[in-house]
Structure 1
């Protein structure tokens, strides 16, 4: 079998077909009542997200980046402070640290899980002290859909007096030892960017916390630092609200989210079973449940990644690289501190990782086709990929 039409890397259109009527009706309700900012759907979504995650307080906002930024602002993180960040992730994790005037310190990740290494975290804290900075926080990232080592991270953070701000932009719905993300650390943030496992039709995000005081500060910060009234601004804030139409869309998507996550599990299992002997497949830690935002493999070192990706493209199979360059090597961030011993795992991963098509609507025949092409290509070293 040869697929003549390009396979979607993430198939948002198929989900749109499934939810068309319910989402159209939800949007119409918002258009009819006209409360486009802070309409009733926003509060309802926060309640439903709290039930889903078992978090006491949920504060929706305009993006996953705003979510991270708001927590740092609420905690007064700024000049002279250091925040420990993994280098192998999207730039938003460190971007917000710079925006509040603090210093990101880049540390390494675990080769199999792609998530922050608690040993490297300890080294990052020590480096902050050497530089005369006050280590205030760590931002672990639950990368590609899997929870980080939150027990190990919290142990290190508690011993050193840091708070944990969990970046679950890719991992809402994932769990660690039976606990869904949203209750680890001081706060957890997520993104509702359209390509995320739970995504809206624009930008959106949310913050989860069990700290009532923090939740109150966050609600003020997201509306210009508002106090008792519209013109009583008691702190510096942002315009960071989630609009009502996006909340209405997310409410409908949340209804089928568990079903979609289970479908992702099925796709991931089939990939793993069929590819584990030809590439390094993702490792899910015992006790963790990933939501598979991405299915990311590591190619054999002898296989040229560019040729591999171009070869798959000729068979209409799209691939992506997350992340082609770790943050400490990017122009905007290379001047910030990193471990003196270097970040060898992040650098090695950036040269070998490839993400395959992953979404709940990837049918078995298409999965089989992708698997067959990859197996033959790797086994034949790309010389005679299947026709």
Structure 2
């Protein structure tokens, strides 16, 4: 059996008629740049996430860059973030001239350790120059939004939520209020890269905020800094959400919660099968709740005792695709070697142990069963040796 890590074609087959109709309507209208679908999708996403403004841009990396730029962060400033994330989370800081301060992760969730964030905010020798914190809701699991809000209010730092992997994930506050990731930060960002839970058929991204001034800056900055065409108020860039991608994303948004529920079902099945086969002493499974606290953009296990790379090779030889997110923390990347060295033991350990298994809504239960059986067979063979 061949089991893909992600297969876009299965979803396309179920949506083909509707997607082609939406795309044809765009082409037939002749309005292919910043048309009605972009405007409608921005409204629909703002409503879905419970924010005031949603600004479509070309991709998630641009969204992060523009979001940081909107806060006036510049050379001499510092921004706290995680080293266990995709490159764009940190490059949006350095591209704006500022310096990232990398902190470690919570080993259970892989998300940024908020205890360490507060420690840096209180003890860093240049703490008055720390302007923002960028938490990442990694693998679809929400960072504690209530605590993020407290940190923002207590220390006066801006919060930039990186929601590239968490669109639609939620957090329940102590008073029972439920909010979606991206709705608490001063400004937040989304990616609609094709593999995401809400994926375009190409590049696309979005900026979210409840701040009118930040929203206005982002809207102007994404179109060469011009509120009115050919009249440039600031030196902006060209980063527009494509009309065709907006039309596609509108079709998929209507099914997003359904996709989330399926991902959670599959994650629960993985966990049940690993326990049934007695594998929980060999691997660490991600916790599965009953709500959208984690929407499982990826299903990531930790493989103990140095078996990760051999297990990955074994699975590939048996037709199972896997991936490593991430093999090297940002604090160890060559491009950041000029920064002060920092010791992040939990991040380093995660880089050596994590393995992402197949996860997408159209994944079949028999495929999950096969993946787990292959992992069982691998460890039984290791024990026999």
Structure 2 partner of 1:84: 80
Return the alpha-carbon distance in structure 2 between the equivalents of residues 344 and 163 of structure 1: 27
Q: How does 1:1-387 map to 2 (within 5 A)?
A: 3=1, 6-126=2-122, 129-131=124-126, 134-177=129-172, 178-227=178-227, 229-276=228-275, 277=280, 278-284=282-288, 289-301=293-305, 303-337=306-340, 339=342, 342-381=343-382
CA drift at 1:133? 6.5
CA drift at 1:286? 8.6
Q: Give the superposed CA RMSD.
A: 1.7
SS at match of 1:381: helix
Return the alpha-carbon distance in structure 2 between the equivalents of residues 152 and 285 of structure 1: 19
8 Å contact 1:124–1:338 — kept in the other structure?
no
8 Å contact 2:60–2:191 — kept in the other structure?
yes
Return the alpha-carbon distance in structure 2 between the equivalents of residues 15 and 285 of structure 1: 25
Q: Which moved more, 1:94-103 or 1:281-290?
A: 281-290
CA drift at 1:46? 0.6
Provide TM-score, normalisation by structure 2: 0.93
Return the alpha-carbon distance in structure 2 between the equivalents of residues 61 and 105 of structure 1: 27
Q: Which moved more, 1:147-156 or 1:187-196?
A: 147-156
CA drift at 1:205? 0.6
SS at match of 2:232: coil
Provide TM-score, normalisation by structure 1: 0.93
Return the alpha-carbon distance in structure 1 between the equivalents of residues 382 and 187 of structure 2: 46
Q: Which runs of 5+ in 1 are unaligned?
A: none
Return the alpha-carbon distance in structure 2 between the equivalents of residues 158 and 336 of structure 1: 28
8 Å contact 2:162–2:182 — kept in the other structure?
no
Q: Which runs of 5+ in 2 are unaligned?
A: 173-177
Q: Which moved more, 1:283-292 or 1:66-75?
A: 283-292
For residues 272-296 of structure 1, the C-alpha deviation after alignment (integer angstroms, 9 at most, x for no partner) is 1222524101135797621111000
1:123–1:242 distance in 2 versus 1, CA, 3 Å: same
For residues 277-328 of structure 1, the C-alpha deviation after alignment (integer angstroms, 9 at most, x for no partner) is 2410113579762111100000112x42221111111210111000000000
Return the alpha-carbon distance in structure 2 between the equivalents of residues 348 and 323 of structure 1: 11
Return the alpha-carbon distance in structure 2 between the equivalents of residues 117 and 103 of structure 1: 19
